[in-house]
């Protein structure tokens, strides 16, 4: 499923990052409860 989500934190995330199966910690990226993507 492709959702056009704009990175409010100014970070472009890959499609794999949007998938719940992928652990954000492994990718070195944190996803805030607001859905913002911030680099660690």
Q: pLDDT in tens for each of the 40 residues of the chain?
A: 555 655 444 445 555 455 555 555 555 666 666 666 666 5
The whole-number pLDDT of residue 10 equals: 46
Rounded (10°) CA dihedral 17, 21, 24, 27: -70
Rounded CA-CA distance 28/3 in Å is: 21
Go through the chain and tell me how many residues it has. 40
- What pLDDT is stored for residue 19 in this prediction? 55
Contact criterion met (CB below 8 Å) for 7 and 36: yes
Q: What is the residue extent of each domain of the chain?
A: 1-40
Predicted pLDDT of residue 22: 52
């Amino acid at each position: 499923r492709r959702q056009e989500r704009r990175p409010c934190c100014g970070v472009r995330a890959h499609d794999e990052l949007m998938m719940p199966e992928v652990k954000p910690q492994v990718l070195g990226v944190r996803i805030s409860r607001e859905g913002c993507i911030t680099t660690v």
